[in-house]
Structures are given as structure tokens and as C-alpha cells.
Amino acid sequence: MSPRARIALLVLAGLVLLPGTGAVIAGLPPFGSTIAQYGERINAITPQVRHVANMVSAINFDLRGLDTLGEEFMLLAAITGTVVLLRGRRGEGNTERAMRRPGRAVIPRSDTVVLVCRIAGPLTALFGLYVVLHATVTPGGGFQGGVILASATLLIYLGEGYAGWRDTVRSHWLDAMEGGGALLFTLCGLAPMLTGAAFMQNVLPLGTFRDVFSGGLMLVENLGVALAVTGGFTQLFLEFMEETRAADEPDEPGEESA
């Protein structure tokens, strides 16, 4: 399909979806309006029956856990498709060092940038772990925390350069995190069935309300999401960076490390 045909198809799809999008936006309740009956029901029942204080996590991992599992595999499919497209164009090999493209100036990193990234990187990772671990207590969870953790790895690249980043980040580790996290989430649904319970029915102790380890099976599902999101987004960073790198070749005039 030619670029002009793709643009025309995009415009046509936008025109078709525009009326429905406008209707949905117009039907939203005004800001500050009273909580709907569904929300009030969740707030009244969930803290007692699931021992969690974060209602968003209760909805994602319990009340509509099957929907969240589907969304997790949508993310997995999207990242897998991106990787296949990028690697299909340049091949499976990944470079181990950054190379300068001809005619592109390499701006040296200032000491300030390096220092800030070395400080902000670990702090960002700690905050990401905090968000993941407190999924059932305060706003946050595996998806939000996973994105923050992936951002912490990106700060390593900004501060240490591509070569230092690649020494830390390994593609096969990211594949294992992403696939393993999705598998763990799936097993949280299948394992209860071995005991005669329903798919994704909680079979673990619920713990104490407002405790970090409350929520039972939600904790394991949250961990699976955190692993998948962290591995998936970091894998995307790696693949997009590889698009700007030349293949490993003997040094030639005009080439130098970034």
C-alpha cells in the first residue's frame, strides 16, 4: 500500500470514529460529580471482602481480572510485533557498541548530565519498586511501577551512554521478564482451577487491610504485570536504539564511539 493510500485510509477511519468519540466525550459525567452506583458499591464491599485499600487494583486484578489478562496479552502482542518488524528489517543481530552515523555530530555529555542521571536513576528505580509493592494499599500497581522501572533503565543510557547501557541491559533477560510475567499472570488464573475453584478465584490468604501483603492472589498477579511491563518497555527502548546504530565493523575514518 502506498503512503498516500495509507494516509487516505487513516483519514477515512478518523472520520468514521469521530462521531462515536464525540458522543462518548459528551456523555461523560461532569468533573466533581457524585460517584456512580457502581463505584459506591465497590467502595462499600471490596475493602471487607478483599482486604485492599486501592480500589483500582481490586478492579484490575479481581473484579475484572480476566479483562486485565487480555490487556496484558495485547501489550505482549504489540511489543512482539514491533520487535519482529524492526528485527526483520535489520536482522537479529544487536550491536554491542554505539557508532556515529556519518555527518551527525556527537555532543559530549556534560558532567552535570552524568551526575544527575546517576542520582536520578537509582531513585527512580526505588520509586518504581515502591509503586509496584504498594499496589493494594496506595494508588499505583504493576503497570505504573513497571513503566517507572523501565524509565530508570533509560536514565542509565542518558548518563552512561549506549555502550554502558548495553553492558547492563540484555535482550534475552528482557524477553524472559516479559514472557515470564505474562505466563505468571495466566497461571494465577489456571492454578485455582486445580483446587476446584473458578478461574482467577482467590485461593491465598487475604492478609490485613492496608498492609503491603494484603490482597491474596492479587499480589502475584501484580508481580506478573510488573515483570511483563518492565521487560516489555525496556525491550522497546533497546530495539528503537538499535535502529540508530551501525553494525559492528572495523573502525573507519569518521566513525567514533557515541
What is the rounded CA–CA span in Å between residue 227 and residue 177? 5
What's residue 91's pLDDT? 58
Question: pLDDT tier at 2 (50, 70, 90 boundaries)?
Answer: confident
Question: What percent of the chain has pLDDT above 90?
Answer: 50
Distances (CA, A) of 188 to 120, 184, 195, 219: 34, 6, 12, 10
Question: pLDDT tier at 143 (50, 70, 90 boundaries)?
Answer: very high
Indicate the helix (H) or strand (E) that contains 180: helix 171-194
CB 83 within 8 A of CB 239: yes
Q: Which three cell numbers stand for residue 22?
A: 464525540
Residues 174-196 pLDDT 10s:
889 999 999 999 999 999 999 89
Residue range 230-234: average pLDDT? 93
61 pLDDT above the threshold of 60: yes
Domain extents for the chain? 53-242
8 pLDDT above the threshold of 60: yes
Burial class (CB in 10 A: 0-12, 13-18, 19+), 142: buried
What's residue 105's pLDDT? 63
Q: Which three cell numbers stand for residue 73?
A: 496479552
Query: pTM for this one?
Result: 0.77
What's residue 96's pLDDT? 53
Which ranges constitute the DSSP H helices of 134-170?
Answer: 142-168
Angle at 223 between CA 218 and CA 229, to 5 degrees: 125
Question: pLDDT tier at 252 (50, 70, 90 boundaries)?
Answer: very low
245 pLDDT above the threshold of 80: no
